[in-house]
Structure 1
Amino acid sequence: MTGSIAPLSEDIAQTNDAFTGLAGVAASEIEEQQQDLKRSPYGSTTFTSKPSDSNVQVVTNVVLEENENENTALRGGQKPVLSNAKIQIIMTSMYLGIFLAALDGTIVSTLMTHIASEFQALPNISWIATGYLLSTTCFQPLYGKISDVLGRKPLLVFSNVVFGLGCLLCGFSNNLWFLVAGRFVTGIGGGGLTSLASITTSDIVPLRDRALYQGMCNVFFAIGTSCGGLVGGFFGEHGGGWRLAFLIQIPVCIISCVLIITYLDLPPLRSYEASCQSYAQRLKNLDWQGAVTLVTFLFLFMLTSSLGGKEIPYDSKLFSLMCVFTVISGALFVIVEIYMTSDPILPVSFLKDRSVSAGSLANFFCVMGMITVNFYLPVYWSSVLNIGPTDVGKRALPSFFSIAFGSLGAGYYMKRTGKYYCFTLGGCLIAVLGLIQVNSVSASMPVWQQYMLQVVPGLGVSILITVTLLAMIAAVPHEHQAATTSISYAFRSTGCTLGVSIGAAIFRNTLNTLLNSKVLKLVSEQHSEAELRSIISNAAHSAEWIHKGAPVFVRATLVECYHFACRATFKFCLFVTILATISCCFIKEHRLHTSIERD
């Protein structure tokens, strides 16, 4: 029997079979792996088969040792360890994508008045922002599983192309709804740019180092978010018109796309069956039922949250109907993912893991609180303190540095220690203390404290966001990291949308109640009820009117109403941040591996 068995190559001859003790025994499994390696551009080992005169079937486990000369590490499949220079180039391309996606989320904040004036469409102008947020939220969770099937590179290129196409449509739009459609297309690409950056990072760097790269991703997202209003304002007033604010992003998309095509070269898919299929076959086998029900649920959820209480009253039949359809579509999605597919587009079963579910809820609640603070602190500055837009923007600027410090600090801490549980709770505590400080805001607060008000909560939330994603990824096998990342982004997006909607509802209801109770007390011979109701209506619709058009006798009362309405919203932010802290208590600490492949 010994003479009938020959090694396939000298490389394999150095590895003894675990069952027979013979050198270089290889069964059909190794021949399949051989073919897979030959297809791979990373296969540095060449197998040459010699004939055997017996049908010996031996099950073997061949471990290919690290080849230091070619800098490759293999375990159960081909996975390259890229050079540091190549990793930095790849990450730069994805940082550009993250920056653009974040920039586009806020760039319209200072362009809306210019666009509304040109198209004579002030009542519907908010759809410019809603269209982008709507498509980003709906399509972002799909990229994880689709990139598992089709590969990261094609999806990253697709995201950049679609994002650039959307910007092109926005730049050449000739009416409001054409612009909204362009924003919707841009959001489809933007959702991929952010989520795929996190997913691809997990493929090219070890989990221990990944925290630092995730921190950098958060920094670029913060830069984009902070610069959006400034860039939009510059082009709107001085830089050639609002259209150029969209068109100027296309060259950056092209640069990012070229870098990805040139340098991002990931190994073939782990599934041998999938790697042998054409793109058409892989697309056909996708969980389309899950994808359709998920997008439908998120679309209805976003639409209901955005329109409820504004365009559609809460007590209307239409709003009730939208809520019913949202719940039904959500239930259908869960049923499809659990019972009707073997390879779900967004595996809700992962939520059974306490780290995944706790991390998801922590993301949901902390983003809900922070986005609401970011929306309503500027309202407080302008309505209560009568601060102009430029000075309002200056008060938000210091938070960027705390977000950068928190994100990078969290990444560095995890890289050095491999630990994250206690650090997560520390970040939560910082966020809670920061929100307590926000709730103490008053008209008499010193100016330096106003500048520092978003610094502490920004620091805490940036730590929490960075760490919880790593905690979720560490809790699942490597092949499920993309889907888990998609779950994280899905919870963030829905938390963001719901936070703005709930915050707006609290603010509007509190403001209307206070205006009616306090202003109507001023009824007298000099001021009729009709006059006061007109004042209430104007004050409820425009914070600027309070300081520019409101009668002097009622101005202090109106400012007081805005003060307490904002404070009520800030209390909601504190409450959900406490819920995020409670969620983090249930996260289980896992080992952060120092190699790309992990057991």
Structure 2
Amino acid sequence: MSSTNIEIADADKTVESVDVRADAMAPPDPDKPRVVVTRVEFIGILFALMMLFFSASLLGTIIATALPSIANQLNDMNDYSWVATAFLLTSTAIQPVSGVLSDIFGRKAVVILAAFIFLVSTIVSGFSQSMIMLIVARAVQGLGGGIITSMVYIVVGDIVAPKKRGPYQGMNSAVFSVATVLGPIIGGYFTDSSAGWRWCFFIVAPFTFIALVCVFFLMKIPSSPGTFRDKIHRLDGWGILTVSSGVVLMLLGLTWGGSTYPWTSATVLCLLIFGFLMLIVFVLVEAKVSREPMMPMDLFTVFNFNASSIIAFTVGFQLYGFIYFIPLYYQIIHNYNATQAGLSLLPIVLALSFSSIISGLTISRFGLTRPFSIGGMALLTISIGLLIILDENSSITIEYLLHALVGLAMGPTMQTITLFVQGSVPVRRLASATAVNTFFRTLGGVFGVTLFQTIMTSRFQSALASRLGPNVSLAGTGSFDPTTIWALPPNIRTPVVQSFVDAFRMVWLVCCCIVGFGFLFTLLLKPLNWDARKNPKATKVPESN
């Protein structure tokens, strides 16, 4: 196909000649990174990104076991759940914006800003003297953490050649998983020790500061030309406003539904409906109004991007649901304390880290991306389905082996999603595509935790009623507090625990179906033909991926 050169006037009034075929349509060269850096810079940037990613992922879950202590010390038992919700809302809402921000202002500037916001808000969180102060600090912290999460994948995509990204994306997956699982364990340790819950925040401040210094001196990725004022004008203001509003409204509805308010209440229904309508407005704005959209609609013309986004949603659905509900399973079914329950995730984490690194090295060596995606999702579906056989009498060894099987499946699955996205879109869409894909994974996690909670409550109540009668009072037996459950008389506790087994089985079954749906899309993924990308003339349709 022939190339067409056109002249484009940038926001700073400079005119440059652009090869439309090479710039707008051509996929990345598989053997060359978009940005070439020295070995020292590469190691320093990667080290800084991993520390930032670890810190942001850790603080996403570290307060899970510390919330009761925080609420007690700050004398506020009504609003303490917002300490976790505020971080989740802002970190999810900001992720789609991260890509376009880095395209306009440059990768380095956005990473530094995000790290600075994250560092300051983390310190403020540690020194908080009231619940409102802590909630606000956590909301700001979520903004920094959400941008960091997206930027790690984007920058790795810049400085690593496409064919060599496997091990590094595997490293990202391992860091994210380990930090997310270690969070509740570390939080529980600090809460129970003389250090106190404030060290849940202070512990990450030094690492964030070191990473910030490394980024400042070592990250030398060129930014787009233009003055600061011109770049501000390039921002997709209406897009940012509509997507942020839509996501926040939807997440509030999902968070409050079934807990703070009934699902059928006017509050929840209005939040979900208006959030959905706002997202429709966002799509119209991006398609018809924005000159430089934060979520370019042409991304959705790339089949691999669409399929990978659906797979990312299902993987996030499973991942976040397991992080919260596997420890709960061991607390309720086997009477584990908080620390023991957190450690029960180690088989998943260790297996995931191992399979991420091995599959990454294999992909980098042989370029076999699609088989790992299909095999990983197939094994993940099967291993989750096998959890249905577990009950209160199951061997801990068998349970841990099944969890390790889940981890082995998650490793290659999580990294190949990002590889397919970054290997299928044009270079100029790499940041936006990566940020949107990360957003879908996080959004899937929100839906997963919410749906797991709803299914668990509903199935437990029906199972308990079938065992103890329809008129049984759930005031004492319907609590998810393990201490309350195991303080019940044996004749009551046994049917309660058995009812929870039924509830968890329904959770695993639904999760298996959702992941199985994602598996179907891995079968439709188009292979990443690196040779055709390196030599477009070798095939008649070079942009088929």
Question: What's the TM-score, normalizing by structure 1?
Answer: 0.82
Q: Work out whether 1:556 is the aligned partner of 2:494.
A: yes
Alignment of structure 1 residues 382-461 onto 2, 5 Å: 382-461=331-410
Please, which of 482, 506, 523 is the counterpart of residue 544 of structure 1? 482
Question: What is residue 136 of structure 1 aligned with on the other side?
Answer: 91
1:261–1:509 distance in 2 versus 1, CA, 3 Å:
same
Alignment of structure 1 residues 147-546 onto 2, 5 Å: 147-269=102-224, 275=225, 277-520=226-469, 532-533=472-473, 536-546=474-484
Show CA shifts across 1:148-182 (max 9, x none): 01000000000100001111221121111211111
1:592–1:91 distance in 2 versus 1, CA, 3 Å:
farther
1:433–1:78 distance in 2 versus 1, CA, 3 Å:
closer
1:514–1:167 distance in 2 versus 1, CA, 3 Å:
same
1:78–1:472 distance in 2 versus 1, CA, 3 Å:
closer
Q: How much does 1:82 deviate?
A: 2.0
Please, which of 61, 76, 88 is the counterpart of residue 106 of structure 1? 61
Q: Name the aligned partner's letter for residue 275 of structure 2.
A: T
Show CA shifts across 1:370-427 (max 9, x none): 3223322222212122222232223211211111122212211211112311221111
* In 2: Cα distance, 1:455 partner to 1:339 partner: 47
1:412–1:324 distance in 2 versus 1, CA, 3 Å:
same
Instruction: Decide which structure has the larger Cα Rg and report it.
Output: 1
Question: What is residue 525 of structure 2 aligned with on the other side?
Answer: 587
1:387–1:596 distance in 2 versus 1, CA, 3 Å:
farther
* In 2: Cα distance, 1:207 partner to 1:596 partner: 11
* In 2: Cα distance, 1:105 partner to 1:596 partner: 40
1:517–1:122 distance in 2 versus 1, CA, 3 Å:
farther
Show CA shifts across 1:341-379 (max 9, x none): 232111233122210000000010122123223322222
Contact 2:234–2:292 (CA<8 Å) still a contact in 1? no
Contact 2:320–2:449 (CA<8 Å) still a contact in 1? yes
Q: Work out whether 1:81 is the aligned partner of 2:36.
A: yes
Q: How much does 1:453 deviate?
A: 2.8
Unaligned runs of 5+ in 2: 1-5, 23-28, 537-541
Secondary structure at the counterpart of residue 442 of structure 2: helix
Contact 2:60–2:88 (CA<8 Å) still a contact in 1? yes
* In 2: Cα distance, 1:547 partner to 1:438 partner: 22
Q: CA-atom RMSD, angstroms? A: 2.7
Contact 2:34–2:160 (CA<8 Å) still a contact in 1? no
Secondary structure at the counterpart of residue 438 of structure 1: helix
1:555–1:80 distance in 2 versus 1, CA, 3 Å:
closer
* In 2: Cα distance, 1:137 partner to 1:247 partner: 23
* In 2: Cα distance, 1:374 partner to 1:223 partner: 11
Show CA shifts across 1:56-106 (max 9, x none): xx999xx9xxxxxxxxxx9xx996522333211110000001000110011
Question: What's the TM-score, normalizing by structure 2?
Answer: 0.89
1:365–1:594 distance in 2 versus 1, CA, 3 Å:
same
1:597–1:346 distance in 2 versus 1, CA, 3 Å:
farther
Show CA shifts across 1:554-588 (max 9, x none): 22111111110111111111011101101212211
* In 2: Cα distance, 1:367 partner to 1:555 partner: 33
1:240–1:580 distance in 2 versus 1, CA, 3 Å:
same
Q: Which moved more, 1:281-290 or 1:143-152?
A: 281-290
* In 1: Cα distance, 2:241 partner to 2:325 partner: 34
* In 2: Cα distance, 1:435 partner to 1:444 partner: 19
Q: Name the aligned partner's letter for residue 278 of structure 1.
A: T
Question: What is residue 55 of structure 1 aligned with on the other side?
Answer: none
* In 1: Cα distance, 2:467 partner to 2:204 partner: 48
Q: How much does 1:546 deviate?
A: 5.0
Q: How much does 1:190 deviate?
A: 0.5
Question: What is residue 39 of structure 1 aligned with on the other side?
Answer: none
Q: Which moved more, 1:475-484 or 1:411-420?
A: 411-420
* In 1: Cα distance, 2:175 partner to 2:482 partner: 33
* In 2: Cα distance, 1:395 partner to 1:424 partner: 26
Q: How much does 1:490 deviate?
A: 1.3
* In 1: Cα distance, 2:194 partner to 2:175 partner: 23
Q: Which moved more, 1:568-577 or 1:400-409?
A: 400-409
Q: Give the percent of matched residue pairs that are identical in Structure 1 and Structure 2.
A: 24
Contact 2:156–2:165 (CA<8 Å) still a contact in 1? yes
Contact 2:106–2:222 (CA<8 Å) still a contact in 1? no
Question: What is residue 4 of structure 1 aligned with on the other side?
Answer: none
